[in-house]
Structure 1
Amino acid sequence: MPLLTHLSISLNELTLEFPDFIPNCRNLTYLDLSVNHLTGSIPSAISQLRKLTTLRLQMNLFTGKIPPEIWNLTLLVNLDISKNQLNGELPNTISSLSNLQTLHLFTNNFSGSIPGDLGKNTLLVNVAFSNNSFSGELPPGLCNGFALQRLMVNDNNFTGLLPDCLKNCSGLAVLRLDGNRFSGNISKAFGVYPDLYFINLSDNQFSGELLPQWGECAHLETLQMDGNKLSGEIPAQLGRLTQLRVLTLHSNQLTGKIPSTICNISSLEILSIYNNSLGGVIPQCLSNFSKELSVLDLRMNQFHGAIPATFTEGNILRNLGLNGNQLEGPVPQTLANCKQLQVLDLGNNKLSGILPNWLDSLPELRILVLRSNRFRGTIGDSNTKLPFPNLQIIDLSHNEFTGLLPTKYLENFEAMMNVDEHTDLGYMGDSLYQDSVTVVVKGHELELLRILYIFTTIDLSNNRFQGEIPNSIGKLNSLRLLNLSHNSLAGHIPSSIGNLIVLESLDLSSNQLIGEIPWQLTKLTFLAVLNLSQNHLVGLIPQSRQLDTFGNDSYKSNLALCGFPLTKKCGDDEAPQLPTLPLQEVDSGFASGFTWEVVVMGYGCGMVFGLVMGYLIFSTGKPKWFVRMVEGEQHKKGKRSKNGQKRARRN
């Protein structure tokens, strides 16, 4: 095949090594073997193709190092070997590819620093080193040619200041530096880029104030600077970015108010500025300024006043996060117009009034958090035929609700029943933004950076509920966490709780419960947290391999309880030994939860134990291996913010 100049091969997903005949095609200028299952190493014989201008080997299974002979292909204009399993360091001889315009090495296992001689490739237009283990500083001459349009080095271990030449790359259109440890004042590191449409500086250590001149980037569609040390106010000039779709500034040190000019950006889909020190009243226009708005996340700031009450019909708001502010007044009824709302997080404010009866008619609602407010009154029966059809997380704790538990709701939470753990292993959210939520386990607030569809929880604790726990609660056989503690519930513990076969946390403490602990609780083979303390329970504690693992604190202040693990023994006149679950039934229940356990934290840990483990790990540094195991290879985090969420929207 001496006259062959262009060759593109699809091997229909067969797993093969590099085809032997290709090095003999000496006239090839274009070689595309991408998106196959080629294995082994890239052969050094490829250097015989001296006329190659384009070499595309991406999305294969190549291993080992880049053969040094490849740098002899001096006519190469486009080199793409991304998404393989290649490793090693880049040599200085890379500068011999003086005609190179596109260099894609992303999603491999490369390490070491970027050769300083790379700056000699003055024609470089498109550079992508993302998702590797490169370290050190970017070489000072990286963009000396000023031709650079796309620079993507995200998710590596780069440190230090950015090269001065970056300010002069006026042709930049895409800049991704996220997921590293770059530092320095952003006002000194960046210039003005008229053609810029995507910039992501998230999860670094940049300081300084946001640049007003970025409001002049007329084509900018994505601006992400979350997870840094940025200070000062949000520039009003950002309101000029009329094509902006994504603005994430969360987890910084921003102060001041939200400029009303933000409401000029009618194209905005994501506005995430949580975990700052912003204050003032939330502008009313934020509830209706964009027909495209999907996420409005203002959590963990210092906003006060009322929730904006101008949510209009036809909006597509999916996530509204206002947790951790000082908002007052009732929940605005115009939220009933948000028919696509999946996450409503209003916890930790000063909101008041009764539970709005229209909430249960929101067809897509999956997460409802109203904890730690001033809500009061009874929760009456719903008038909706199928209330909360998709609700999987509900937290009404630390309010002043009274009356009986909302039985009709507890009977109809369909998203907590018969969940298929083999098919529902995805994460809540969409391609641009993945949801997060804070749950309480054993008194610890833990932020779930990504929420599995199979995760379900009910927390009605610290209210004034009375009456009995309805037996119908046993229908929720996919429930993971149940907390009814610190109420005035009476009667017996329903034996139907034994039907909650994947339950991992059960807290019924500080109530007025009576009678014996039902032996059916021995079926709960995934139970990792149990608290029945501060009640009036009597008799022998059921014995099982699971219940035997809990200590004294799980049962304390039940003066008539006896048996292990309590020091009080049961006499002959006490209640007889209660039946325990047969061994084969225990094994069957244990096996049924295998799949999702492996996904979350590894077999045998369980989600609740995994959450506690994750909390300890994240609070002490969050090592890279753990992040990649839990969040995926392309979802590296620098802080306990919702960065895990945003990786999906950027890849």
Structure 2
Amino acid sequence: MVFVIKISGLGCGSVCRTSSNKSIKHLCRVHLSTLSISFFASSPFSPGSLQILMKLKSTLLQTSNTSAFDSRESSNSMCNFTGITCNSQGSITKIKLSHQNLTGVLPLDFICQLQSLEKLSLGFNNLNGPIMEDLKNCVKLQYLNLSNNLFTGWSVPAEISSLSQLQYLYLEGSGLSQTFPWKSLQNMTGLVQLYLGNNPFNPFPFPKEVLQLTNLTWLDLCNCSIHGTIPAEIGNLKELIYLGLWGNNMTGKIPVEIGNLVNLRKLSLSHNSFIGKLPVGLRNLTKLEVFHFSMNNLEGNLSELRFLNNLVSLRLCENELSGQVPAEFGEFKKLVILSLCYNSFTGPLPQNLGSSAKLYIVNLSMNFFTGQIPQYMCKQGTLSVLYMYGNNLTGEIPASYANCSTLLDFRVNNNSLSGTIPTGIWGLPHLLNIDIKWKSIEDPITSDIKNAKSLSTLYAGHNCLSGELPAEISKATSLKFIQLSDNQLSGTLPNLVIKLKRILTIFTTIDLSSNKFEGEIPEVLGKLTVLRLLNLSHNSLTSHIPSSLANLSGLESLDLSSNRLTGQIPIQLTSLTFLAMLNLSQNQLTGPIPQGKQFDTFENNSYDGNLGLCGFPLSVNCSTNELLSPPLPSILQEHNDSIFGSGFGWKVVLMGYGCGLLFGLAMGCVVFNFKRGNPKWLLRFVKENKTQR
């Protein structure tokens, strides 16, 4: 009946308007999908292809929340379906449905019935189950991408050697396990890119089949359980641009044949157990841009790398490398990332390092570098992270870093630096972390810290910082960690709290120990509801411990030792159920130690030097009155401390003792008179009182 419509030269609408035939009118009301199939029956396009697509749609829509199959043009041609490409004969050649939130089992049994299919791209979805053996029927495939899905392995038998035309195979991060069908690669001599990384395969040695794929330009076998050594035959893959083997269990030395890979631009071998020196052949890899070799057991120096002036990223952290950084590194113009941390490098750094390069990350920490910090590493205005801690660097922090507005993380602690902090560093607008502890930095923290709106962590302990903290520190509204211990900072804590009042509620760590702070511990510290550590030890703080500290429900460490605190330990502190460390030693505290919960876990050294304390865990027992007496209110306790501290309290005690003695003698006389007869004055007094009642 469809052919009748076409022969008449009338569209469906015309037929419906002109015909009285009920069957023709019924045709005009047919469902869209049925009409589409009928249309293709009269067209040059394969009806089987459409049926396969409709079946693919119905299968995946049962389990997927996707709009991938919604977008179709009005022509009803299957070649206008989303992600579908056809050739001039109307046969489907490409299915591209990556990133479409597809779920369910991939129906390869009928997808691979598309005899002209050359490209199948379904990466970055949530497809699951095994990859069915029907994949072997997609014999025309040149491009296959099933990466980043949730497959569980291969159906048995795993055999895809029939895909001899395959050039691009992407299966990385697809959840494949068990054993990959390596022998199938023998027929895929035209492979250009092979990505199998990030799959939990059964452990296997470097596959020899891969070494025959001499057309490979990209080879990714990262994090997929390879063990053993890199075969010398790797040098046969001379077209390689990228070689990725990081995150495996590979051992042995790097073969010198790797120097044959002269087209290599990216070499990633980190997170293995390689040993030995960098092979001599590396100097031939002059196109190399990325060289990542961190977390291995390499030794020797970097002399082979001084010829690689196209390097963009060099990562060699956590090895056993030594020697000096080649002077040529200072001339590298493309260098963006330089990471040499946790090795045994020595000597001075090239002072022109970064003068011509747009450095972004520099991590030279935990080595034995000497000399000064190179001053040009932020010359191009791109430096974001500078880690140079744990070396033997000397001199001052270069003034040029005060203008490094791109800096996010600045850590030069644990060196032998001296002098002052350049004006402007405290107030870098995007700085998140600053760590300058364990140096001999002098002068106070300056008022430009008000510009540090992003500053979260301030570590400046073990220096020679002096003076009071500037009031402008309250404008550093992101500050959460402050560690200023072992300096010469002064002032009272109440003043400090006033300066910090805008940001108190976000603090998690405060360490102001070993300074010259004085006065009382302010009650407002109890509002630091997220505080985990409070260390005010080794200052000159006086008065009592505020009971408001009991509000710090998450507090894990409290150190108030070596001050001049007096009074009792607030019993309310027993509510701090996360408190793991308490040090109140070397103060002038008195009374019973609170009992229960975390306080039952602390030992004698938490209370040493407080001669007036008693109770567990000390050997000094408390009297009954001490155990029953609640802690005095803070004002009264403070008043009593001042009275007894001045010596006046003993006069009051003696006066009370004298009055009691006189009263006792008078009552004795009364009792004596009763024996001689009822005294008239006493009887009169009692009688008057009864009348008043």
- Could you say which TM-score interval applies, normalised by the shorter chain? 0.7 to 0.9
Aligned to 1:443: none
Shift of 1:349: 0.6
277-286 or 155-164: bigger deviation? 155-164
Contact 1:61 1:84 in 2 (8 A): yes
One-letter amino acid matched to 2:473: L
Q: Does 1:505 align with 2:533?
A: yes
Q: Give 1 or 2: higher helix fraction.
A: 2
**Counterparts in 2 of 1:276-291, with a 5 A limit?**
276-290=343-357
3-state DSSP of counterpart to 1:331: coil
Q: What is the match of residue 102 of structure 1?
A: 168
Question: Deviations 1:241-297 (Å, cap 9, x if unpaired)?
Answer: 34321111111111111111112211111111111111111111114232x111222
Q: Could you say which residue in structure 2 is the equivalent of 1:519?
A: 547
Rounded Cα–Cα distance in structure 1 between residues aligned with 2:575 and 2:167: 62
Q: Does 1:74 align with 2:139?
A: yes
Listed as ranges, the gaps of 5+ residues in structure 1 are: 417-455, 579-651
Three-state SS of the structure 2 residue aligned to 1:171 is: coil
- 1:388 aligns with one of 432, 452, 457: 452
Contact 1:141 1:165 in 2 (8 A): no
Of the three residues 586, 594, 599, the one matched with 1:563 is: 594
Indicate the SS of the match to 1:300: coil
Contact 1:114 1:138 in 2 (8 A): no
Q: Name whichever of 112-121 and 55-64 sits farther off.
A: 112-121
Higher relative contact order (CA 8 A, sep 6+): 1
Provide the C-alpha distance between the structure 2 equivalents of 1:132 and 1:577, rounded to a whole number of angstroms: 66
Q: Pick the aligned partner of 1:3 from 34, 46, 52.
A: 46
Following superposition of structure 1 onto structure 2, how do residues 478-497 of structure 1 map, counting pairs within 5 Å? Answer: 478-497=506-525
1:412 matched residue in structure 2: 475
TM-score normalised over the length of structure 2:
0.71
- The 3 A distance-change label for structure 1 pair 34 and 518 is same
Contact 1:474 1:498 (C-alpha < 8 Å) held by counterparts? no
Distance 1:96 1:143 in 2: 19
Cα deviation, residue 194, structure 1 = 2.3
Q: CA deviation at 1:542?
A: 4.7
| 1:330-349 map, 5 Å | 330-349=396-415
* CA distance in 2: counterparts of 1:276 and 1:176, whole angstroms: 23
- CA displacement, residues 549-592 of structure 1 (integer Å, 9 cap, x when unaligned): 435734344441532327366555563478xxxxxxxxxxxxxx
Asked whether the 8 Å contact 2:222–2:248 carries over to 1, the reply is: yes
- Is the contact between residue 513 and residue 537 of structure 2 (CA under 8 Å) also seen in structure 1? yes
* 1:140-169 superposed Cα distances (whole Å, 9 cap, x missing partner): 121303111111122333221124432210
State the partner residue of 2:679.
none
What is the match of residue 308 of structure 1? Answer: 374
Q: Which amino acid aligns with 1:486?
A: S
Q: What are the residue-to-residue correspondences of 1:224-623 with 2, within 5 Å? A: 224-235=292-303, 238-290=305-357, 292-310=358-376, 314-376=380-442, 378-379=443-444, 381-382=446-447, 384=448, 386-404=450-468, 406-416=469-479, 456-469=480-493, 470-472=496-498, 473-476=500-503, 477-537=505-565, 538-543=567-572, 546-550=575-579, 553-560=582-589, 562-564=593-595, 565=599, 567=615, 571=627, 575-576=631-632
Q: Is the 8 A contact 2:450 2:473 kept in 1?
A: no
Contact 1:350 1:374 in 2 (8 A): yes
Q: Which amino acid aligns with 2:523?
A: S
Q: Distance in 2 between matches of 1:475 and 1:517?
A: 23
Quick check: 2:414–2:436 contact (8 Å CA) kept in 1? yes
Quote the residue 2:25 is aligned against: none
Q: Is the 8 A contact 1:304 1:328 kept in 2?
A: yes
Cα distance in 2 for residues equivalent to 1:499 and 1:211 = 60
1:189 offset after TM fit, Å? 6.2
Q: The residue matched to 1:183 in structure 2 has which SS?
A: strand
* Residue among 138, 143, 147 paired with 2:211: 143
CA distance in 2, matches of 1:62, 1:87: 10
C-alpha deviation, 1:413, in angstroms? 1.6
**Measured at CA, do residues 513 and 108 of structure 1 come closer, stay the same or move farther in structure 2, by a change above 3 Å?**
farther
Q: Give the structure 1 partner of residue 646 of structure 2.
A: none
Letter in 2 for 1:222: V
1:45-81 CA distance string (max 9 Å, x none): 3332233221111121111110111122222211111
Cα distance in 1, alignment partners of residues 451 and 627 from structure 2: 49
1-structure distance, mates of 2:511, 2:257:
50
Q: Which of 1 and 2 has greater Rg?
A: 2
- Alpha-carbon distance in structure 2 between the residues aligned to 1:551 and 1:559: 23
SS in 1 for 2:561: coil
Counterpart code for 2:283:
G
* C-alpha distance after superposition, 1:324-357 (max 9, x if no partner): 1111122121222322222211111111123333
Q: How far apart in 1 are the matches of 2:510 and 2:247?
A: 36
User: What is the CA–CA distance in structure 2 between the aligned matches of 1:350 and 1:18, rounded to whole Å?
Assistant: 61
Aligned-partner SS, 2:276: strand
Q: Is the 8 A contact 2:426 2:445 kept in 1?
A: no
1:234 Cα offset (Å): 0.6
SS at match of 2:152: strand
DSSP-derived class of the 1:375 partner: strand
Q: Distance in 2 between matches of 1:347 and 1:552?
A: 26
**Which of 76, 96, 104 is the aligned partner of 1:40?**
104
Change (3 A) 1:69 1:324: same
| Conserved? CA contact 2:485–2:515, under 8 Å | yes
CA RMSD of aligned residues (A): 3.2
Q: For 2:296 and 2:223, locate their aligned partners in 1 and report how far apart those are by CA, in whole Å.
A: 15
Task: Give the distance between the partners of 1:182 and 1:233, measured in 2 at CA.
Answer: 22
Deviates most, 552-561 or 258-267: 552-561
Distance 1:307 1:49, change over 3 A: same
2-structure distance, mates of 1:324, 1:99: 55
> 1:549/1:295 Cα in 2 relative to 1: closer, same or farther (>3 Å)?
closer
Distance in 2 of aligned mates of 1:34 and 1:311:
41
User: Does residue 1:124 correspond to 2:191, yes or no?
Assistant: yes
Percent of paired sites with the same residue: 29
- The structural deviation recorded for 1:370 is 0.8
Counterpart residue number, 1:29:
93
Q: How many residues align?
A: 533
- The change in CA–CA distance for 1:153 and 1:385 in structure 2 (over 3 A counts) is closer
For residue 33 of structure 1, what is the amino acid of its counterpart?
L
In 1, Cα distance between equivalents of 2:153 and 2:417: 56
The runs of at least 4 aligned residues of structure 1 exceeding 6 Å deviation read 4-11
Please give the alpha-carbon distance, in whole angstroms, between the structure 1 residues aligned to 2:372 and 2:272. 34
Whole-Å separation in 2 of the counterparts to 1:539 and 1:169: 77
- Gaps of at least 5 residues in structure 2 are 1-39, 70-77, 601-614, 617-621, 635-693
Q: What residue in structure 2 maps to residue 15 of structure 1? A: 65
Q: Deviations over 1:459-488 (max 9, x none)?
A: 111223333221223432222221122334
* One-letter code aligned to 1:352: S
Q: TM-score, normalising length from structure 1?
A: 0.75
In 2, the alpha carbon distance for the partners of 1:255 and 1:492 equals 52
